Structure 1
Amino acid sequence: MPMDDMLKKAVRAALFFMSALLAAWALLPEGRPVAAGLILGTSASVVNAFLLRRRIEFIGKTAAEHGERKMTLGLAGRLATVLLAVMTAYRFPELFALPAALASCFFVQLAVFFTAITNNKNGSGGKG
C-alpha cells in the first residue's frame, strides 16, 4: 500500500478520534480538559503529518530532477507545531490537560505505523 493511502487512513482515524473526543467533551463536563488536550494534540499531529508529506514530496521531486538541494525548515516547523500545542496547554491548564496534549501529538504517526504493520501482515501471506 502506498504511503499516501496509509496517511489517508491515519488522518481518517484521527478525525474519527477527534469527533469522538468532541462528543465526550460535550457529554462529560469533568473530562473536558482531557478531551480538549487530546483534540489539541491530535490536531497538531495531523498538521505535522501534512507538513512531513509535503517535505517528502519536495525531496522526491528534487531528487528526480537532480536539482540543487535547498535548506528548509522541515524539522523545525514540525517541532514548532508540537511546541505550539504544548505551550497552549501549558498556558491554559483549566482548558487543556498538558499530558493529554503531549501524548496525542504523535497520534497520526503511530496510526501510520500500525497501518503499515497491519498491511504488511495482510499482504505477506504469512511468509515473513
Structure 2
Amino acid sequence: MNEVLQKAARISVFVISLSLLVWAFAPEWRAVAAGIMLGVSASMMNALLLRRRVDWLGKVTIEQGPRRVGLGMGGRLATVLIAALIAQRFPEHFHTPTTLFACFFMPFASLIFAYMQSKRQP
C-alpha cells in the first residue's frame, strides 16, 4: 500500500509542478493552473490523512486497545470544502470546476497504480 501511495504522491507533485509552469508561462491559464494546484494539494492532504487513519486502525486492531473517536471522513470532507470555498471566494485566482475536479486526483491515481501493481503480481 505504501508503494502505491508513494507513486501517486510522485505523480501529484509532478502535476503540481507542471501546473506551476503553466501558471508562470501562460497568463490566460493561470486560474485553471491555480485551481489544479489547490485541488491536487487538498487531494494529497486527504490521502495522507486517510493513510494515517488506516495505519492507526491497524495498530489498534492488533493491540486490541480502546477505540478513539475522531473526525474520520468529516476531516477529509472539510478539506475539500475548504478548497472549494477558497476557489469560490477568489474566482479571479482559482477556477472552481477545475479545483473540484482536481480534489479527486489522488483516489483515482491510487486506484490506477494499485490496478497496475495487481496485474504485475501473479
In the TM superposition, residue 109 of structure 1 has moved relative to its aligned partner by 1.0
| Structure 2 runs not aligned, ≥5 long | none
Code of the residue aligned with 2:85 in structure 1: it is M
1:71 to 69, 72, 82: 69
Which stretches of structure 1, 4 residues or more, deviate above 2 A after TM superposition?
none
Identity of aligned residues (%): 48
* Match status 1:24 vs 2:53: no
TM-score (norm 1): 0.93
The match for 2:85 is 87
RMSD, aligned CA: 0.7
TM-score (norm 2): 0.98
Query: Aligned ranges for residues 1-128 of structure 1 at < 5 Å?
Result: 3-124=1-122
Rounded Cα–Cα distance in structure 2 between residues aligned with 1:15 and 1:6:
14
| Structure 1 runs not aligned, ≥5 long | none
Code of the residue aligned with 1:29 in structure 2: it is P
Deviations 1:16-35 (A, max 9, x none): 01000000111100000000
